[in-house]
Amino acid sequence: MNVLFLTTHLNTGGIGIYLKTLSKELICAGHKVTIVASDGDLKDDLCAQGVTVRILDIKTKSELSPKIYRALNDVSDIIREKQIDIIHAHTRVTQVMATLLARKHKIPYISTCHGFFKTRLSRRIFPCWGDAVIAISSAVQEHLEHKFKVEPCKIHLIENGIDREQFTFQDQDTRQKMRQELGIENDFVIGLIARLSDVKGQDILIEAMQEVIGQHPLERLVLVGQGKEEAALKVQVNNLRLEEKVMFLPTVNQTANILPAFDVFAMPSRQEGLGLSVLEAQASGVPCITSNVGGLPALIEHEQTGLLVPAQNSKALADAIVRLIKDGELRQRIAESAYKNMDARWSSQTMGTKVIHLYEELLKKS
């Protein structure tokens, strides 16, 4: 099969990593992948995997932006050149593009819903979900059915998977070396890798750290990522006088190179489709604390493979962090349990096989 992925950018993040992982599985299975997107820091990695990347200026959040309509002819040329069999879109803007392109070229089109959408009028009038829509978690599946009335027969639950070759349970020497490189070798490190946005809850984690550090002054919070909330979060850190305790690091392409430096991974999201970085932390042997929202409970069995806390509750989050600081045996037990329970359900191979099967079903129908 010749598959075309459409997305607005190729920056590191949930969608970017999904594309990189799924592309690898498709190519390993003998299929060809072309991606049309605006530029991004994952471009070189994708090209190295054998993906054909075509850069077009379609980075916008507006379905009415002239950018996407000006690009349609260029994408049509790519579809003909690469003899594309199926289109797979990953953002709202590219779902609109894919709907128009699929009609023109009479080929199947599917979308992946990577999270939760606002119920805007345009989405209700022009849903643009495609011939099938992939939901990355049961929470997202319910969201599609109840909020947007997507026909259940069109929704396919295919949970995210990670490339287990990249992540492993690191020994203490390796962890310590990574911490030395960051200059935090003598601290207990709480970490989070996510874009700096309101939905990810970094402000809740910073607030919780004020109480944590009051009890355990050698703690350090490392926030990895970039985003529109960066300035506000740094102001919050300064107002709480935590400048010496909170470290901001830019987005990293290879999260496996920093995750083992964390003692605890904390994700207090206000909303979360699944939580790819939580899977990566668990695969790296890092105990996780997450809020009890969206798809996160699918990854965390409370007290067994991690700790769940109520959303937007910095006190409960602080209590959970302090609990893991004090109880080394609990940290080790839940880290090992999560690692052992990362079975085939969360593997990239399982995800790839299911997506390929869906492609084949749609091609037979067409």
DSSP for 49-110 reads TT-EEEE-----S-TT-HHHHHTHHHHHHHHHHTT--EEEE-SHHHHHHHHHHHHHHT--EE
Give me Rg for the CA atoms of the chain.
Answer: 21
Q: What are phi and psi of 26, to 5 degrees?
A: -65, -45
- How much is the mean pLDDT over the chain? 94
Q: What is the CATH number of domain 172-343?
A: 3.40.50.2000
pLDDT (average), residues 68-83: 97
Q: What letter would DSSP give residue 355?
A: H
Q: What is the pLDDT of residue 120?
A: 81
Question: Which DSSP helix (H) or strand (E) runs through 133?
Answer: strand 132-135
pLDDT digits (tens, 9 = 90+) for 233-288: 999 999 999 999 999 999 888 898 899 999 999 999 999 999 999 999 999 999 99
State the pLDDT confidence band at 344, using cuts at 50, 70 and 90. low
Give yes or no for residue 139 having a pLDDT over 70. yes
Three-state SS at 135: strand
What pLDDT does 126 receive? 83
pLDDT value at residue 180: 87
DSSP result, 318-338: HHHHHHHHH-HHHHHHHHHHH
Is pLDDT above 80 for 125? Answer: no
- DSSP 8-state secondary structure symbol assigned to residue 314: H
Q: Which CATH class is domain 2-161+347-365?
A: alpha beta
Domain ranges of the chain: 2-161+347-365, 172-343
The reply to whether 172-343 shares the fold of 2-161+347-365 is yes
Handedness of CA 195, 196, 197, 200 (dihedral sign): positive
Full-model pTM: 0.91
Q: What is the mean pLDDT of residues 34-55?
A: 96
Q: Report helix, strand or coil for 222.
A: strand
Confidence of residue 119 (pLDDT cuts 50, 70, 90): confident
Q: Is the pLDDT at 24 greater than 90, yes or no?
A: yes
The length of the chain in residues reads 366
pLDDT of residue 342: 79
Q: What is the mean pLDDT of residues 4-14?
A: 94
Rounded Cα gap, residues 277 and 265, in angstroms: 9
Can you tell me which residue has the tokens 């390993």?
A: 28
Bridge-based pairing state of the strands 32-37 and 52-55:
parallel
**Is the distance from CB of 80 to CB of 4 less than 8 angstroms?**
no
H/E segment holding residue 2 = strand 2-6
% residues pLDDT > 70 (the chain): 100
Instruction: Convert the pLDDT of each residue in 184-238 to its tens digit.
Output: 877 899 999 999 999 999 999 999 999 999 888 889 999 999 999 999 999 999 9
